[in-house]
Structure formats: structure tokens, C-alpha cells
Structure 1
Amino acid sequence: MNELVRSLPSPSLPGLHLPCAGTYKGWLFKWTNYLKGYQRRWFVLSNGLVSYYRTKAEMGHTCRGTIPLATAHIEVGDTCHMVLTSGGRSYHLKATSEAECQRWVSAMEEAKANATLLMPHSDDSGDEGPVPQEDRALTQGVLKTLAGKLDDLSTCNELIGKHGAALQRSLSELEELRGSVDSPDRVKAVNERATLFRITSNAMINACRDFLDVAESQSRRWQKALQHEREQRHHLEETIEQLAKQHNSLERAWRENPTSYTGVARSQEGDASDENDDAEFFDAMEDSTGFITVTASDNVQHKRSGSNQSMMSGGVPNDWTHNENETSGTNQVQLRRTRRSRIPDKPNYSLNLWSIMKNCIGKDLSKIPMPVNFNEPLSMLQRLTEDLEYSDLLDRAARCDSTLEQMCLVAAFSVSSYSTTVHRTAKPFNPLLGETYELDRLEEYGYRSVCEQVSHHPPAAAHHVMSQKGWTLWQHITIDSKFRGKYISVVPLGNIHLQFHSSGNRYVWSKVTSTVHNIIVGKLWIDQSGDIDIVNTTTKETCRLKFSPYSYFSRDVPRKVTGVVEDREGTAHYILSGTWDDKMESAKIVDSSKGCGGSEGKQKTVYQTLQPKLLWKKYPLPDNAENMHFFSSLALTLNEEEEGVAPTDSRLRQDQRLMEAGLWDEANIQKQRLEERQRVERKKRGVQANQALEEGQQDIEGYEPLWFQKRTDDTTGENTYTYRGGYWEAKDSQDWTQCPEIF
């Protein structure tokens, strides 16, 4: 039990009652922040104030904070807990026992009552309510009066100095002329100067008294005005927070059921649109020719597609829909039979994101130390690998004879990688420099994937995938993330490269911007926005996908994606449509014409298409996904323990493993340890680089990745990291001697 001391004990009131002038001292635990939790502090209760120090020794020189009890609210929480609220700030304290907590509460309540009694209870107006608006002008007048009194005091001070010096000179002269003829006149002069000095001193004293009277008379008014302003500010903050919550609730409700909030105008428009169920309309795309699609009639469909019936059905190969059903069913069952299908439920830890992020506005998010509460138990390397969840789209694309149909499937694959993010607002772990991650799915899906963190600042990862089903994918992605106060924007920089083995067709594209909204208050939600330009560098065919940003006032379907597939001459062949969180469809164009002008005077192109065909459909989430970080079936297996992986693999990170098990406090400790170790290693590399420069060496590389090498891409001209080989051979021989020790 903490030691509790009274400087002025009261034998007649044992244990609880303290004299006003007494002090009450002891150890309490004060909540500091999430990273450090409750910290032991030395508290002193004296003269209506609660002060706290880190140690007893600090009492003589460093006070860490003071809480005035006269205006504080004292609340007893759960066992051994108490909360002091003063000036809009709350102090959470914890004692070691219930009895000790009760003693502190009783002492503070009595000190608060005594401090309240000592405060002046009357002012010039006699009004104990809040200071009205008209009193503010009076307060300004009082301030001017006090300023004038201070000027009077300054003037009196100067006069006293002058008269005092003159009096001193006269006394010295009088001493020298003692006994002379002029002595009576000198004495008279000294008396006059002494009189002036006394008059000036009296004026000084009177001015000081006036200043003190005015200050004391207004002290109570100022205290009330200050308290009123604090209460008003606190009330305003609560009101704004409540409005933000209501706005967020309405917005979420509208997103879930927009038809319930659009009124009569929307229902009338819906009735009119029912007259032509075959027509589909899309908004004009920015920076490209606007278009409208209209489904072709049956006779036009047979006329245009009759020559291709052996290969296509409605403009889409027969094996597209066949393989889609096969992949979404059989392969997923096989995955669940051989891999784990659940992880421990996520603990219900509450944490105020704004309390940690408010001082980080405008900073690079990767440089902000964050507790694991804002993470999910996967690293960025594993999130990058998760793009392969719908690798069957690339398997189907490898079997396509038409490059335009192949482009449609590649576009659907590029959209499918965002479907896992719709509920995933948590931040993945930042990989350590040299950290790797492998995903061996040769038996299930025919591919092998390996990632490596090749740079820490800026964070950059290299990824290489080789499939036995006819394709290879590689990418070098750098993450540029910024915190803007109300939202976080994550901009992936770098290109994704895909090459099909049989045809040699190579596709290049980049990722769009991800934005996490409602950082300050409300439920977090994520949006994807921007354009993806997919280019077949072999045939020069292109596809531009537009991810429409969410708008509260838009009538479009949320998370909408549209696109056009064009050949090298710019002729459109396919229209793509769907949403990035659900599905994508393609419709073959059979005719086009110029339509009416758009909203900005641009002329839209009207495309007549065949019936759209499904390219991709999102897998349903596993049962209980909301308690497992909304992980998909693939994501649940990414951190599953496997034998034989490299010692730098993300599965071996202690902080990530502890967080997945629900031990978040232990995970935070391990996370801090790993980050500190990484900082030490970075300093060592800096010292080595400086030594090398002093020795005259040039072109010093600060860090050299183990499995990837930097080179200039012949097609795009970008500097990128590509797989140098050797990882899977090292795994087969279990020779990891060249791997650094990072965990």
C-alpha cells in the first residue's frame, strides 16, 4: 500500500478529515498514454490543489502538473479508480486498494469544499450566474483602468527616485554647512524636499491601494468569466462531436439503403427507367470521351456474333463463365480442407485515434510510431501477396486466344485486388528492412510468390510470382502515405508487370489511391479513387479503368468502376463495368455513334453492346469474419505457421504473432523492441557508409537486398527491383546462412 502522509494530523478526525492547511501525500497510478499505460506518480494534496511528481525528490524543483480542486469534478470509477475533470481535461488515477482509493476521494472532496468556501462569493453585480455579454465591455474598461493605475505607479516611482536623490544631496550639503551663516536656509530647503518626498510616497501608496482594490473587486468576476468560457468550449466540443456522429450515422444508413432517402423524385425516375430494362447508362469519364452503352437487340446480336459462335457466347469465351464457377467453388473448398479457416477473435480494445494522430497532421504515416491497435496481424508484404486471391483470372487469361479478351480479364484482376479492403481499415505492419514473405501454392493453384522489403524510408517492397499455368507477375511498390486530419491517403507508387509465357504479351499498370475517412470521429471507412491505365506493351492495346470516388450527392452506385478496352488504333471493343468490392462485367461493343452533349459540353459516344458477361465475382467472407479483422479465406492462411521458411519471413515476427493471438500489450512491447533494433542497425550502416566515404570509396550502397536487384526496365524505363533468383533453391537445401538476423 502506498504511504500516505499528513503534515498537520488531526487526532480528533482520524483517517479522513484534513485541516485546510494540511497536506495529503502518497503514490497513485496515473494514466499517461496507451504505449505506457498507467505510470506510478507521487501525488500531493495541499491548499486545494493536487500536484503530482515522478518521484518524491522532484517535489523541490519539478512539478509535472497541478489540478485545482475548487473547479474540479471528482468521480469514482470502477474498483480503485477515480477520475478528476478540470478545465476540460480528465485525469484517470488508480490506487492500489479500495480503502486507499476511498481515503483519497474523501480527502479531495473535503479539500474541494474548503477551497470553494475560501473563494470570494460576491462581486459588484451580486450575480452568481455566468457573465453576460454586456459585462465584457465592463471588463475591458476595468483592464484599461488597471493599465492607467499602473502608469500612475510608474510615474510615482520616477518622482520618488528623483525626490529621494535630491533629498540625499540636500542632507549631504547640510552636513557640510553645519555652523555656517547659510545653515537656516539650507535646513528650510531640506524640509521642503522632505515634504515633497513624503507627498510623493503617499501618492504612491494610495495608487497601490487603488490598484489592489480594483484588482480584488474584479477577481471574482474574472474567475467566473474564465470558468464560463471553459464550460462553453467544452459544451461546444461535445455538440460538434455529437453532430459528427449523427452525420456519420445518416451517411452510413444512406449508403446501406439509398432508396429510402431519395424521395418521390427517385421513385418516379425508377418507374420511367423500368420501361427499358435493357438499357444501361454510364456517366462520362474524366479525361476521356464520354460514353453511353445500350444493349443491342436480339437480331443485331445474332448478326454480329454469328460467325464467332464456336468461340464466343454473347462476346465472351465459353470457358470464362465455366472457369469462374469452377474456381469460386472447388478451389475454395480445397483451400479450406488444407489450410486453417479461423484465427483468434479480435479483442475489444478501445483507443482514441485522434489523441495520437492530432500532432501528426501532414507527416508521412510510415514514420509515425503507432500501437498495434491500429494494425491488423499481417505485414505489408502479406497484404501485397493477398492481391493473388483471384489468380484464377490470370489462369483463364493465359488460355485466351484474343488479346482483347485477355485484357478484360487482366483488368478484372487489377480491380479484384481491392475487394479485400472494403472492411479492412486497419494498417498492416510496416515490414523491417530485409523482411521477406513467401507463399507457396504450387499444389493448390500452381504458383509461388516471394516478397522482400528492399527499403525502409521510403518503405518499398519487391514482389515476384511465377505460375505454372502460364504467367509471371512482378512489382516494385513504394507507399506514400499522408495524414490530413480528417482522412489518411495512401498512394502506391510503382508499376505492376504481368507477362504471359505462350504469347509473350506483357501488361503494365499501377494502383489507385486508397483513402481512410472519419479519422477524427465516426466509423472508419475506406474508398478507392483514381484511374488505372493498363497497357499491353506488346500489342499497344489499352484499358482505362475509372474508380469513381464516393460522393454523398451522387446517384451512382457506390464504389463504381467503369472502363473501355481499346486496340492500338483507339477503337473501343469492350465496355467494363462493376464495383471494386463485388464484381466486374464486360460487354462487347457492336456499334457506336455520337450522342448528345455531356454536362460540360462534351459530346458523348453511344456504344451499342451485347449482353454483359460476368468476369469476376467476389468470394463471400468466412463465418465470423467481423471478429477476425474481416479477413478473407486466403488472408486467414497468410500468417499460418509453416516449416522451412526463411528466418526473415513475416510469419516469424513476434509482435505480429502476439497480436494475432490477442496479446496486444505484449505485442506492443515486441514492436517497440524490433523498431529500436532497426534504428540501431540503420545507425551502424550510416557509420559504415561514412567510413567508406572517408576512405575514398565511391557509389556506396546503404543496403543491398538479398533476393532482388535494382535495374532499369527496358520497356518502361523505370528503376525497379526484379527477382535475382535463389530463394526457392535456398529453401530446398535449407541454406539460410546469408539471411540477416532481423527478429
Structure 2
Amino acid sequence: MSEPKPPTPTPAGDTYKGWVFKWTNYIKGYQRRWFVLSNGLLSYYRTQAEMGHTCRGTINLATASIAVDDACNFVISNGGTQTYHLKASCEVERQRWITALELAKAKAARMQAESDDSGDDFSLAAAASQNSEVQSTLRTLASKVEDLSTCNDLISKHGSALQRSLSELDSLRLTGEAGDKIRQVTERATLFRITSNAMINACRDFLALSQAHSKRWQKALQAERDQRIRLEETLEQLAKQHNNLERAFRGNSQSNTTLDSKGSAGPGKGEASDDDDDNEFFDAMEEAPEFITVPTPSRPPHPRPDSPSLDLVPVKKRRSRIPDKPNYSLNLWSIMKNCIGKELSKIPMPVNFNEPISMLQRLSEDLEYHELLDKGAKCGSALEQLCYVAAFSISSYSTTVHRTGKPFNPLLGETYELDRGRESGYRSLCEQVSHHPPAAAHHVISSRGWTLRQEITVASKFRGKYISIMPLGTIHAIFEKGDNHYTWKKVTTTVHNIIVGKLWIDQSGEIDVVNHTTGDRCHLKFAPYSYFSRDVARKVTGLVTDKDGKAHYVLSGTWDEKMEFSRVMQSSRGSSSGSGAAGENETMYFFTELALTLNEAEEGVAPTDSRQRPDQRLMEAGRWDEANAEKQRLEEKQRSVRREREREAASLRTSSQSEEGVPHDSHKALWFDRCDDPITGEPVHIYNGGYWEAKDTGTWEGCGDIF
């Protein structure tokens, strides 16, 4: 029996529905899906019956592009993260869809522009505020209309009484000047009565019109409110179902004895929201004969034999695990629904979203592959050294592939030291130097011939389905040999499937690693995830050029596994290392071997060190309820201290002759001085010395009481 012909899509107001064939993968090709266009959003389902409970994907037409491939095919894309390749059953049907999509796109773009003109990113919280304002305005208008009606009655009443009194005076038939005055008053009163009657009639019409419109506004407002509530309830139900499915999946996974040694890495080449359960295939990367390989986090536990200090001083044995993550349930939507479009650093979040390390410790994880800088310090060629520095800049993302937890926001004045002088030859110090915007200064000195410093400010926005994290600031690497000074910036990190689906992370953007001593540079490209790309997932490519623009090395690889470089038109074999196992475990937050040691208690550190944070320590121990209470206490303590500083600064401004040069917040970093960077010209904080000397003597008098 032949399959019936798909029905022609039918419009219903602003809604357009119908069957369209959607590309799924290279194995199954195009599959028939039920598409619904409504309110500027194009959603699709496997069947019409799924419309009530399972949406397979949605794309916002306001920012999407619509392109025609041929007679029946067309493509809709929002610029990278979502692309739908569609095929209609005939050219006429395809044209109907294109017309409906273009109209919906124009309307959605117009509405978005109006929303942008009224302020920054629109959020549900802003909508609730606007609804409340409309309701208040309607109540005020109703009150004013009632006052107007009362005045209308009074004018009519008093006007009639005045007219009667004037008629009585006129009946007296006074002569002379008094009679003339009475006639003048009567004439003016008559004119006033005529004008008042006209105004009364206009007021009566306005009153009737206002009452009619008020009822319609009330109904429209109530309909919008009901629709918003239904949407919230639907999304909340979806979030609950997702949590239940995830817990059930976790239970099945624990009982399954055959596991992927690399773990789940999120979507590799499939649309994250599609959930078509179709197999995905990738082309294998060819092994190049000349390469640098960035090893995985799993490394031999024994120290390196080329470290001379290890023969004299025993190396501290570091811990290899932390308490397992508790299985806490969380109503995600109840927290996230009022965060859309906002800066996440200003939103108080429970520890359920966190991992038990601070942002300062996460920043210290950039040193996971410090050996790349050690190798770079030994290079005789600045161009080859640049390859190692470029690989190091990429390696900082290798620890993030499964790390969807949010680090603790450091308190102002919080510090973190990572003393690996005995094992690895370096000492690292971070300090939170600003609260709003949050900024951390980082300084690393290595006995193997290099120094690393950076100041990072993280801007983040919640966009409804994903979170964008944009690190701002410049990273500097300086080598003693050749006095080469390199700088670069970080790319954007995106966390997808915030409300529904499996969380996964992508890195996208471009990096320029510049040698300011020689003029050499390496341009790196992080390819964003794309369903239809045949490239390997998480791909990074790069080109090393000299100051004249001549290419010398080509780099290729992925930001989560390895990087390779090869000399252009000349054979030059690099060094390699086996990839090994990832050594990651979901119950321990997918921490690497280095990350597992970051929050380990250590004697002699500053009282402001992140290891001393009670909320972070409680969370690591699995006592999340106590951790949340402690987190709120610390945040309120920080706000109280800041208010006191602002009062002192305001008092100082009042007592001075001029406000110029007087800060609003008098906080000054302890171990870093603010200045203009001599290379980039940016205002930065640079290490002023003294921390490690204070640790040697145990004198921490300058540290604030932040915990």
C-alpha cells in the first residue's frame, strides 16, 4: 500500500503547519517531519501527535537566513549552531513555505527591533514588570475616568443652579448700572453653559470609549498572562521530565559493564536539539608524520627525571579523588526563567550549578600542560617556540570538554596559590582584584625559563537555550631565552542545552598569538560545531608566519585531544606523546588529575586562599544545603563590606574640593598593582612581589577577613 501524499501546509492566522522532509544524516538522508511556524519560531516534530509533548528542535527566524537550493530544497540557518536542510514535496509547496517564512521573519525582526529600542536584552522578568506597569496604568486610568464622570455630574448640577439664580435676578427688572451688570453676567453664563454642555457631551463619549477599551485591554492582558503561565508550566514540566530521564539513564549506565573509555563528549556531528537517535559517523583524522602532541590529562604519577630539585626534596603525594557528587534534584526552570539576557555574575546561584573549585582555581588549570612552555623555553628557533606557545594557548580548553559546572565566583580579595616548584618548577598566584566587573589577576614564574601573566574578566549572558561566556583580557608569556614576549586572548565558550537536553560545550572564535619581539604570529581558528560539517569535531587549525607574512608552520588538531604542527615545504619532526585515557569521572565533576588536587587542604597558604572557603569546602564534601547557606552568608558579608567602602569613598569625595581622581570603591589589590600594560596599553594588574616571601615567614597581616 502506497504512502498517502503529504498534505499541503495550511495557514491559520500567524501559524503555518505541514509536512516537510528534513535532512538527518548521511545514512538515513531526508526524513519526513511535521513543521509548525508560529510567532516567528519554526519548530518540528516527528509526528503531529508529538506537538503536545516533544519538540525536536526550534529556530528563531528573527536572526535566521533563508536560502533556496533548487526547485524543492531550501535551507534555514541561524549562523552556525542550527541549520535545517529541508525539501518540500513539490516546487509550489516549497514556494508557500518560503513565502510564509519570509513574512514571519520580517515580522519577528520588526518585533525584535522594537524590543531592542526599548532597552537591552528582553527577559521574562522584564515582561512581568511591563505587565505589572500596564495593569497599574489601567487602574489609574479607570480612577481618572471615574473622577471625570463625577466632575461631569457636578458641572451639570451646579450649572443648572447658577442658571436658575441668574433667571431669578433677571426677573427683578433692575434698571440703571445694576441692570446692565446683571445682563452681562447672564450672557456670559449662557455662553459658559453652552461650552459646558459641549464639554459634557465630549466627556460622556470619552467615558464610554474608555470603558469599552479598558475591558478589551483587561482581556488582552489576562490572555497574555495566562499564555505566559502556560509556557512556564510547560517548560518546567519539560525540565522535570529531563531530570527524571537523566536519573534513569544514569542508573542504567551504572549497571552497564561496557562503557566508552573516552566517555560521552556531547554531540560530535549531530544537531544538539534534533534527538533523532540516528547514528553519526566521522572521518578519521590522518596521522601526520610531523607533530607536537598535547597529551590527555592522564599522565604517569611519577615525577619527571630531569628536575634536579627532586633528588633533594621529597615530592608531596597529591590526592587522586574527591567525594562523589551527590544526586541532588533541582527545578532548573524555576531559577533560570528570570535570568534570560542578564549578566550571570550578578545573579545569585545555588551551589547545585557549581563545581567545588573557584574561578581562581579554574584559571590555574591553564597550567595543565605547562610542559609545552618548558619545551618552548628550550627552542633555538623563535618560530618553533611560537608553535609550542600556540599549542599551550589551545591546551587550556582541553579540561573543559565535560566541565559544565560553574566555578565559585571569587570574593573580592580572595587568592589562590599553586606551588608546584618541586614537581614542575613553577609557582602560580591568582587574586580577585575586582568584583564588578569580576576580574582576576594571575602571575606564574617558572624556574625553567618562562613567566606567564594574565588578567581575565569574564562576561556571560544567558540566551534561553545556551550560555555564552566571553573572557576579556590578554595573556602574556615571556621567555628568558631570546627575550621573546607573546600575547593572545581567549575565545568564546558556549554551553548548550541549558533547559532541556544533555549539556555540552563548544569553543569558537579566532586567536592571534603574537611575538612582540620578532613580529612573528600564529593565527588560530576554532571551528564552531556544525551538524553538516564533515570535519572532525572541535577542530582547530593554525598558521605560523614571520613578520613579513611568510608561512613557516601549519597547525591542526582538536582543542580537546591533540595538536600537531608541520613545517611548510620542509621536513622537521616534532616531539610526540601518547594520548592515553582521559581519566575523567562524572561523579567527580569530570576533574582532571590536576583539578582533583587544586582544592586539597595545604598548610601555610594565605587566609584568603580559595582552599579556605567554607562554602566550597562544604560542597566538595557533599553537604550542599549547608554550602548554600554559607554561600549566602559570604555574599552578604562581601556586599556589606563593599557598601562600607563606598560610604567611605563618598565621604572622601564630599570632603575634597574636587571629585576627580576619587574612586567610588576604595578597594586596592594586595599582591598586584594597577597600571597600563607596556605592550598592549590596556589597564591591568601586574604582580608587585612579596607573596612568596610572606608565605616563607608566615606573616599575613595585610590579608583581609573575607571568609
Q: 1:638-657 maps to which residues of 2 (within 5 A)?
A: 638-657=598-617
Q: Does 1:516 align with 2:478?
A: no
Gap change, CA 1:239 and 1:740, over 3 Å in 2? closer
Q: Does 1:713 align with 2:677?
A: yes
- Counterpart of 2:346 in structure 1: which amino acid? K
- Counterpart of 1:695 in structure 2: which amino acid? S
Counterpart for residue 587 of structure 2: 627
Q: Deviations over 1:171-200 (max 9, x none)?
A: xxxxxxxxxxxxxxxxxxxxxxxxxxxxxx
- Counterpart of 2:339 in structure 1: which amino acid? C
1:244 to partner: Cα distance: 13
Counterpart for residue 379 of structure 1: 358
Q: Does 1:503 align with 2:503?
A: no
Q: 1:628-707 maps to which residues of 2 (within 5 A)?
A: 628-693=588-653, 694-696=655-657, 699-701=661-663, 702-707=666-671
1:258 to partner: Cα distance: 6.4
State the secondary structure of the residue aligned to 1:448.
strand
CA contact (8 A) 2:298 2:582 kept: no
State the secondary structure of the residue aligned to 1:420.
helix
CA contact (8 A) 1:244 1:522 kept: no
Gap change, CA 1:681 and 1:238, over 3 Å in 2? closer
1:238 to partner: Cα distance: 4.8
Distance 1:740 1:420 in 2: 32
Distance 1:547 1:695 in 2: 51
Gap change, CA 1:265 and 1:573, over 3 Å in 2? farther
State the secondary structure of the residue aligned to 1:634.
helix
- Counterpart of 1:411 in structure 2: which amino acid? A
Gap change, CA 1:516 and 1:332, over 3 Å in 2? farther
- Counterpart of 1:381 in structure 2: which amino acid? L
Gap change, CA 1:575 and 1:509, over 3 Å in 2? same
Which one of 690, 693, 698 corresponds to residue 726 of structure 1?
Answer: 690
Distance 1:514 1:720 in 2: 23
- Counterpart of 1:680 in structure 2: which amino acid? S
Q: Deviations over 1:676-715 (max 9, x none)?
A: 1111111111111111112347523421111000112222
Q: Deviations over 1:231-268 (max 9, x none)?
A: 9995997599769999x99xx99935769x9999999x
Counterpart for residue 703 of structure 2: 739
Distance 1:466 1:231 in 2: 58
Q: Does 1:391 align with 2:351?
A: no
Q: Does 1:588 align with 2:551?
A: no
CA contact (8 A) 1:583 1:615 kept: no
CA contact (8 A) 1:416 1:618 kept: no
CA contact (8 A) 1:374 1:427 kept: yes
Identity of matched residues, %: 58
Distance 2:646 2:673 in 1: 21
Distance 2:553 2:675 in 1: 35
Which one of 543, 554, 558 corresponds to residue 579 of structure 1?
Answer: 558
Gap change, CA 1:691 and 1:720, over 3 Å in 2? same
CA contact (8 A) 1:692 1:700 kept: yes
CA contact (8 A) 2:296 2:580 kept: no
Q: Deviations over 1:258-302 (max 9, x none)?
A: 69x9999999x97xxx9xx97x9xxxxxxxxxxxxxx8xxxxxxx
- Any stretches of 5+ residues in structure 2 without a counterpart? 1-148, 165-218, 247-263, 306-313
CA contact (8 A) 1:386 1:635 kept: yes
- Any stretches of 5+ residues in structure 1 without a counterpart? 1-153, 170-222, 281-294, 296-313, 592-609
- Counterpart of 2:399 in structure 1: which amino acid? T
Q: Does 1:436 align with 2:415?
A: yes
1:620 to partner: Cα distance: 3.5
1:458 to partner: Cα distance: 0.3
Distance 1:542 1:648 in 2: 38
State the secondary structure of the residue aligned to 1:339.
coil
TM-score between both structures, scaled by the size of structure 1:
0.57
Counterpart for residue 436 of structure 2: 457
Q: 1:33-182 maps to which residues of 2 (within 5 A)?
A: none
Gap change, CA 1:571 and 1:673, over 3 Å in 2? same
Counterpart for residue 535 of structure 1: 514
Counterpart for residue 85 of structure 1: none
Aligned residues: 479
Computed over aligned residues only, the root mean square deviation of the Cα atoms, in angstroms, reads 4.7
State the secondary structure of the residue aligned to 1:590.
coil
State the secondary structure of the residue aligned to 1:531.
strand
Counterpart for residue 427 of structure 1: 406
Gap change, CA 1:571 and 1:256, over 3 Å in 2? closer
Counterpart for residue 311 of structure 2: none
Distance 2:346 2:578 in 1: 37
CA contact (8 A) 2:265 2:401 kept: no
Counterpart for residue 448 of structure 1: 427
Gap change, CA 1:455 and 1:231, over 3 Å in 2? closer
1:552 to partner: Cα distance: 2.0
Counterpart for residue 342 of structure 1: 321
- Counterpart of 1:574 in structure 2: which amino acid? Y
Q: Does 1:255 align with 2:267?
A: yes
Distance 2:412 2:304 in 1: 36
CA contact (8 A) 1:472 1:500 kept: yes
